[in-house]
């Protein structure tokens, strides 16, 4: 019973009590003696069965489609010889995925937090699939640029929306493993589109459609878009996040979804015990307010106490990881090409920077390459599947994710510092691959976005993380691209030091396990 002098206010519908000091406590239902569960307890009782495993598979495929839509453009642009692209036009086209992601990340976060995670995800999947497929029929580079800008604007929301939906639908027992493990397929991306590109681009055909000549690079564009369409179709199997419904006050709807999830996971309907539950958070979605005010309500709290510290910290770490990783990842085809086309003496005795500098002297950057070389294919396959295997291993260490993150950043720093000084083909490839190990760090950082932000702002926080990632990736791509040929060693050293700052910031993340009192 609550004393008349108490400041605690009871909300019978949500069964929460707020004492005005940001403390939430559960109370018994006034309608009976049913146990009142927290949301975490309720989702844990749904089990880990078929529904979650199918969701993991489809969302992993969706994330792969997103990555192919964004990064597969590089091989499409390189092989689109009939468009007769200049170096400037190629650079403009390659910037479109990053620009699209930056401009549309905020709206997707707003939609996720106000309209639902699943609704936003379906819009992103269908929109990106349709627009990416249409880009295969672009009559000129301007139309191609516009369509790819639009397609990647849609696909930019897939990452954050997928992880948010999954994180709120999994039990706490496997949530960490799922969030990290579901992104393992992302690291197969370069190997996948290099393999597909190798076979498709080696086909010999040309169909005159009147307004365009349909050649292998256009077929490749359609093929790379297929995972988005398949994922969009299978997303009809998904259910909305029960946590989202509970957060907007629809407890009855949330309970129905939890019952359906438990049934699909193999728990008998009459065995699922939850009849009453509370969301043990102090934030909730405000309704019936102007759009501009609603937009401000979703983003301003992220940069005010108590969330501002975590927002800045995670966004900074994300920026460090993506600026350095994306900047060097784009040079992987060049590294493979230089290692295969240079003389054996140059490859063995010369440093990687010497090979890259020689490339700059030869000025081959604007050449049109209609096929993927076998050396590029094999190197990308080895690197991609090695990263996928390592990330799968990291998923089993999800309870030690801070330690894993610190180790990855440290390895990348050491490799970056050592690259300009070593010789030997195997050692150069190994160190360059070690530099790119921060690819694995992104999933860990995004898992912190899911864990550390309240439900009302989680979608916005993760989408801002994606936006910062794309801005940083674009900056890293251009800055490293400008200086790596003329100042190779300095580029590796400065990027490594910048990466070290991310390691220092990561040291202040919450500990892997809370200390015992």
pLDDT, the chain, mean: 79
Q: What does the pLDDT read at residue 91?
A: 75
Residue of 431 and 316 predicted with greater confidence: 316
Domain-located, residue 90 = yes
**Is residue 214 predicted with pLDDT exceeding 60?**
yes
**Is residue 15 predicted with pLDDT exceeding 70?**
no
228-232-236 Cα angle (round to 5): 160
Domain-located, residue 188 = yes
Prior bond of 306 cis (ω within 30°): yes
Region 394-410: mean pLDDT is: 85
SS (H, E, C) 201-269: HCCCCCEECCCCEECHHHHHHHHHHHHHHHHHHHHHHCCCCHHHHHHCCCHHHHHHHHHHHHHHCCCCH
Q: What does the pLDDT read at residue 4?
A: 38
Q: What does the pLDDT read at residue 68?
A: 83
Q: Which long-range contacts (CB under 8 A, 24 or more apart) does 385-390 make?
A: 385/187, 385/188, 385/191, 386/433, 387/187, 387/188, 387/436, 387/437, 387/439, 387/440, 388/184, 388/185, 388/186, 388/187, 388/188, 390/187, 390/437, 390/440
Residue of 52 and 392 predicted with greater confidence: 52
Region 394-418: mean pLDDT is: 88
Region 409-422: mean pLDDT is: 92
Q: What is the CA radius of gyration of the chain?
A: 25
Q: Check which CATH number belongs to the domain holding 87 and give it.
A: 1.20.1250.20
Domain-located, residue 412 = yes
Q: What does the pLDDT read at residue 187?
A: 62
Domain-located, residue 275 = no
* Whole-structure pTM value: 0.71
177 pLDDT band, cuts 50/70/90, is low
Q: What does the pLDDT read at residue 121?
A: 92
CA-CA-CA-CA dihedral for 65, 333, 222, 207, to nearest 10: 180
Evaluated on CA atoms 309, 329, 187, 132, the torsion sign reads positive
Residue with tokens 């674009």: 474
Domain-located, residue 33 = no
**Is residue 374 predicted with pLDDT exceeding 80?**
no
User: What span, in angstroms and rounded, lies between the C-alpha atoms of 184 and 389?
Assistant: 7
Domain-located, residue 229 = yes
Domain-located, residue 245 = no
SS (H, E, C) 335-404: HHHHHHHCCHHHHHHCCHHHHHHHHHHHCCCCCCCCCCCHHHHHHHHHHHHHHHHHHHHHHCCHHHHHHH
The lowest-confidence range among 17-31, 105-119, 131-145, 228-242 is 17-31
228 pLDDT band, cuts 50/70/90, is very high
Domain-located, residue 203 = yes
Q: What does the pLDDT read at residue 277?
A: 87
Q: What does the pLDDT read at residue 344?
A: 52
Which residues neighbour 304 within 8 Å (Cβ) at sequence distance 6 or greater? none
Q: Which phi and psi (to 5°) does residue 375 adopt?
A: -65, -40
Q: Mind listing the pLDDT tens digit for each residue in 314-366?
A: 999 999 998 888 778 766 666 666 666 654 555 555 677 877 776 555 544 45
CA-CA-CA-CA dihedral for 168, 174, 179, 184, to nearest 10: -150
Structure tokens at 260: 């359906």
Percentage, residues of the chain above pLDDT 90: 22
Region 399-407: mean pLDDT is: 89
The lowest-confidence range among 178-187, 282-291, 476-485 is 282-291
Region 98-107: mean pLDDT is: 74
Residue of 257 and 184 predicted with greater confidence: 257
145 pLDDT band, cuts 50/70/90, is very high
Q: What is the per-residue DSSP string for 24-89?
A: EEE---TT--PPEEEHHHHHHTT-SSHHHHHHHHHHHHHHHHHHHHHHTHHHHHHH-GGG---HHH
Establish how many alpha carbons lie within 13 A of residue 387's alpha carbon, considering only the half-sphere containing its beta carbon.
30
Give the number of other Cβ atoms within 10 Å of residue 460's Cβ: 28
Region 308-312: mean pLDDT is: 93
Give the strands of the sheet with 24-26, arranged side by side: 9-11, 16-18, 24-26
Q: Mind listing the pLDDT tens digit for each residue in 22-53?
A: 343 444 444 445 788 888 888 888 888 888 88
Domains held by the chain: number: 1
126 pLDDT band, cuts 50/70/90, is very high
Q: What does the pLDDT read at residue 287?
A: 53
Residue of 109 and 79 predicted with greater confidence: 79
Pair 459, 117: CB distance under 8 Å = yes
Pair 168, 118: CB distance under 8 Å = no
**Is residue 2 predicted with pLDDT exceeding 50?**
no
Residue with tokens 């979608």: 459
Q: Which residues pair with 213 in a beta bridge?
A: 208
Which residues neighbour 285 within 8 Å (Cβ) at sequence distance 6 or greater? 113, 114, 247, 248, 249, 456
115 pLDDT band, cuts 50/70/90, is confident
Q: Which phi and psi (to 5°) does residue 84 adopt?
A: 50, 55
What domain range includes position 447?
A: 50-240+297-506
Q: How far from chain centre, in Å, is Cα 483?
A: 27
Establish how many alpha carbons lie within 13 A of residue 65's alpha carbon, considering only the half-sphere containing its beta carbon.
33
Percentage, residues of the chain above pLDDT 70: 78
């Amino acid at each position: 019973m609550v004393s008349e002098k108490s400041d605690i206010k009871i909300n019978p519908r949500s069964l929460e009590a707020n004492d005005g000091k940001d403390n939430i406590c559960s109370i018994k239902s006034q309608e009976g003696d049913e146990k009142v569960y927290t949301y975490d307890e309720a989702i844990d009782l749904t089990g880990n069965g078929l529904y979650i495993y199918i969701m993991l598979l489809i969302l992993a495929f969706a994330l792969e489609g997103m990555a192919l839509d964004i990064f597969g453009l590089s091989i499409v642009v390189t092989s689109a010889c009939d468009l007769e692209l200049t170096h400037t036009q190629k650079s403009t086209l390659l910037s479109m995925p990053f620009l699209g992601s930056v401009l549309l990340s905020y709206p997707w976060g707003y939609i996720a937090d106000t309209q639902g995670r699943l609704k936003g995800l379906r819009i992103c999947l269908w929109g990106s699939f349709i627009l990416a497929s249409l880009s295969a029929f672009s009559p000129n580079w301007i139309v191609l640029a516009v369509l790819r800008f639009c397609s990647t604007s849609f696909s930019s929301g897939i990452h954050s929306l997928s992880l948010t939906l999954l994180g709120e639908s999994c039990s706490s027992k496997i949530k960490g493993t799922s969030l990290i493990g579901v992104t393992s397929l992302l690291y197969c991306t370069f190997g996948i589109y290099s393999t597909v590109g190798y076979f498709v681009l080696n086909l010999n055909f040309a169909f005159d459609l009147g307004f365009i000549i349909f050649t292998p690079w256009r077929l490749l564009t359609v093929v790379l878009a297929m995972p988005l369409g398949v994922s969009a179709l299978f997303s009809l199997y998904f259910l909305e996040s029960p946590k989202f419904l509970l957060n907007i006050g629809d407890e009855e709807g949330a309970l129905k979804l939890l019952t359906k999830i438990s049934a699909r996971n193999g728990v008998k309907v009459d065995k699922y015990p939850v009849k009453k539950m509370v969301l043990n958070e102090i934030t909730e979605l405000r309704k019936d307010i102007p759009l501009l005010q609603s937009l401000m309500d979703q983003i301003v709290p992220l940069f005010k106490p108590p969330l501002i510290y975590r927002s800045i910290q995670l966004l900074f770490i994300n920026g460090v990881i993506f600026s350095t990783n994306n900047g060097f990842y784009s040079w992987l085809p060049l590294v493979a090409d230089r290692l295969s086309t240079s003389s054996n003496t140059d490859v063995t005795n010369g440093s990687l920077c010497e090979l890259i500098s020689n490339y700059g002297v030869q000025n081959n950057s604007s050449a049109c390459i209609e096929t993927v070389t076998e050396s590029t294919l094999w190197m990308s396959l080895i690197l991609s599947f090695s990263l996928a295997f390592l990330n799968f291993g990291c998923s089993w260490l999800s309870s030690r994710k801070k330690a894993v993150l610190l180790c990855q950043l440290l390895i990348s720093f050491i490799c970056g510092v050592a690259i300009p000084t070593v010789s030997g083909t195997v050692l150069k490839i190994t160190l360059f691959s070690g530099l790119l190990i921060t690819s694995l760090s992104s999933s860990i950082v995004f898992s912190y976005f899911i864990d550390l932000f309240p439900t009302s702002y989680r979608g916005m926080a993760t989408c801002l993380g994606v936006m910062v990632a794309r801005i940083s990736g674009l900056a890293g791509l251009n800055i490293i691209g400008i200086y790596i040929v003329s100042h190779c060693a300095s580029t590796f050293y400065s990027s490594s030091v910048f990466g070290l700052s991310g390691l220092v910031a990561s040291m202040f993340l919450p500990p892997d396990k809370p200390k015992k009192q």
